[in-house]
Amino acid sequence: MNNAAWNKLQGLDKPTLKQLFDADSGRLDTFATRFALHEEDGAPGILFDWSKTHLDAAHVAALEELAEAQDFAGRRAALFAGEIVNPTEGRAAEHTAQRGVGSEASVRLAAENHHRMAAIVEAIHRGAMGKVKHLIHVGIGGSALGPALAIDALARTNGPGGGAMVEVHVVSNIDGCALEQAFAKCDPATTMLAVASKTFTTIETMTNADSVLIWLRENGVEDPYGRVVALTAAPEKAMEWGVDETRILPFSESVGGRYSLWSSIGFPVAMALGWPDFAEFLDGAAAMDVHFRDTDGLANLPLRAAFADQYYTRLRGCQTRAVFAYDERMALLPDYLQQLEMESNGKQVTFDGKPMDGNTAPITWGGVGTDAQHAVFQLLHQGTNLVPVDFIASIAPGHDLAFDHHRMLLSNCFAQGAALMAGKHSDDPARAYPGDRPSATILVDDLTPATFGALVAFHEHRTFANAVLLGINPFDQFGVELGKEIAKQIEAGSTQFDPSTTALLALAGIV
Ligand code: F6P
């Protein structure tokens, strides 16, 4: 990256976290900000505390200059206007329109699609497909990770009497073990199938969908296609495959796979939670969209997070970034963020095709607290890699057990951030903690559909902001294609591979 702002960033002093807190008594006010979902008193909110990162006034000023040099305002305006922001595929990226924030035409189209989806969800809940207790949702990548995460996060306490209105089983892997596990939990007489695929060509999804139809038929369901709903941007392909037009829920081509949870890909979420909660989820995300669209500089929370991400990835050479949900309900969040961030920004060329001159997306990894403390935190505290960490937790517990559980959960979460920053001196090197290790804490008041929607949208915009600062296109994913092509060649019987691959294929009896 060859511009004055970048050169300035590289030349700045790098004070320690302790020095930063000592030098600025207002640091918390500057870097820990509560985001309220609406303006009324008592509105639910989320605290975004970036004070334990190494951002300071000098770095922020230079990062704001970098944002200007990379035309952050222009690229953000183009995103929300539905312009082509994905030039390699000639597409817009209109996930925000699904939440009601975007160009007028796209918002209208998304609302029409949602209207149809709501009608189908509510009809099925009322019994239009007979009794539906189970929903097998087949999809992969963006067509699975979002629904699985949202259902796990929100369907535990929602719905009449708690729990989900319909039990959803998300199956993504082509490994038959995954589908068999779902079959074991479902009664074919009360099971429906959602086939989720933007392209309606993905081999894993189509193979799993075929197998569910066979299973239904073999278990006494006379018209298995009558139990299918298709969620896709390619309705004609779904029809060719055999789904009745009335049960195809379309979404726009301009909604990227890893950004598609808000479209009809969210159908199983609405089936599990009920439409009103799904609508609340969209509204929470919309509140974050409006914040991201209308706020400038450091006050813009996703942009602030991206500033810190750039600081660690590009200035401090951090190869990874870790996310720990101190909330069992969000255990799938690291998986979801892996696709969002690594598939979006794991790129080697700039927006205009030139080679990048440094790291792009860090490897995103993580887990759930407190479990991870007893497994991987050793490296965070004393390892040789500097790993910026995000902690995510909820002030309100997600269970009815004694408050001790939740108090100890949160105490542990906050203790980790404090320990990473403070470190500890010891004359015994094996017992010394270097400290000065960064973390950010995201603390939701309560995990509701609305706060969860805002939280996911925050990460989408953070990913976009990082792409702008890096000067890359976050909306294509050509890196996934080569492996698919070679798998197809193998399926077609080719043996023209390197000696290792050829030997493996022979050993497994595949060719
Ligand atoms: O192979 C990667 C990918 O294209 C992802 O971007 C996408 O989320 C996933 O596959 C599934 O694609 P589809 O929804 O078209 O089945």
CA distance 5 to 15: 19
Instruction: Using pLDDT thresholds of 50, 70 and 90, give the confidence band for residue 160.
Output: very low
Strand partners, 167: 134
Which of 91, 137, 143 best tests ligand 1's pocket when mutated (most atoms within 8 Å of CB)? Answer: 143
Which of 86, 88, 202, 339 best tests ligand 1's pocket when mutated (most atoms within 8 Å of CB)? Answer: 202
State in Å: Cα 411 to ligand 1 middle.
39
Kindly report the number of other CB atoms within 10 A of residue 420's CB atom.
24
pLDDT reported for residue 5:
87
Pairing of strands 45-49, 439-444: antiparallel
Nearest alpha carbon, ligand 1 atom 3 = 141
Q: Is the pLDDT of residue 157 over 90?
A: no
Nearest alpha carbon, ligand 1 atom 2 = 480
pLDDT reported for residue 173:
98
State in Å: Cα 255 to ligand 1 middle.
12
- Report yes or no: 325 and 393 within 8 Å, Cβ to Cβ: yes
C-alpha closest to that of 268 among 446, 139, 399, 447: 139
The three-state DSSP-derived secondary structure of 22-53 is HHCCCHHHHHEEEEECCCCCCCCEEEEECCCC
Give ligand 1 pocket residues (Cβ under 6 A).
140-143, 197-199, 202, 205, 257-258, 343, 477, 480
Q: Give the atom of ligand 1 at the shortest distance from the alpha carbon of 257.
A: 8
Please name each of the domains of the chain with its CATH number. Answer: 13-53+297-335+354-461 (3.40.50.10490), 98-279 (3.40.50.10490), 481-511 (no CATH)
Q: 198 catalytic, yes or no?
A: no
The C-alpha angle 92, 198, 83, rounded to 5 degrees, equals 5
- Report yes or no: 291 and 301 within 8 Å, Cβ to Cβ: yes
Per the structure block, which two tokens stand in for 422? 């403070």
pLDDT reported for residue 1:
65
Which entry of 343, 347, 406, 459 is annotated as an active-site residue?
343
Q: Is the pLDDT of residue 158 over 60?
A: no
Q: 374 catalytic, yes or no?
A: yes
370 upstream amide cis, omega within 30 of 0? yes
State in Å: Cα 202 to ligand 1 middle.
7
Residue with tokens 């950010």: 440
State in Å: Cα 144 to ligand 1 middle.
9
pLDDT reported for residue 161:
46
CA distance 270 to 120: 10
Task: State percent of the chain over pLDDT 90.
Answer: 94
Q: Which residue type is seen at 279?
A: A
Over the chain, what is the mean pLDDT?
Answer: 96
The C-alpha angle 303, 472, 172, rounded to 5 degrees, equals 90
Helices (H), 242-294: 267-273, 275-294
Alpha carbons within 13 angstroms on the beta-carbon side of residue 386 total 18
Distances (CA, A) of 131 to 165, 192, 370: 12, 9, 40
Report how far Cα 376 is from the mean position of its chain's Cα atoms.
Answer: 22
Q: 461 catalytic, yes or no?
A: no
- Report yes or no: 366 and 332 within 8 Å, Cβ to Cβ: no
Query: In this predicted model, what pLDDT tens digit does every residue of 219-230 receive, in sequence order?
Result: 999 999 999 999
Nearest alpha carbon, ligand 1 atom 10 = 141
Instruction: Using pLDDT thresholds of 50, 70 and 90, give the confidence band for residue 495.
Output: confident
pLDDT reported for residue 159:
47
The model carries a pTM of 0.97
C-alpha closest to that of 345 among 325, 322, 363, 361: 361
Which entry of 115, 131, 354, 374 is annotated as an active-site residue?
374
Q: Is the pLDDT of residue 476 over 70?
A: yes
State in Å: Cα 376 to ligand 1 middle.
30
How confident is the model over 310-337, as a mean pLDDT? 97
Q: Give the atom of ligand 1 at the shortest distance from the alpha carbon of 484.
A: 1
CA distance 476 to 502: 31
Task: State percent of the chain over pLDDT 70.
Answer: 98
> First CA to last CA across the chain, in angstroms?
47
State the angle between helix axes of 449-470 and 72-81 in degrees (0 to 180), rounded to the nearest 10.
130
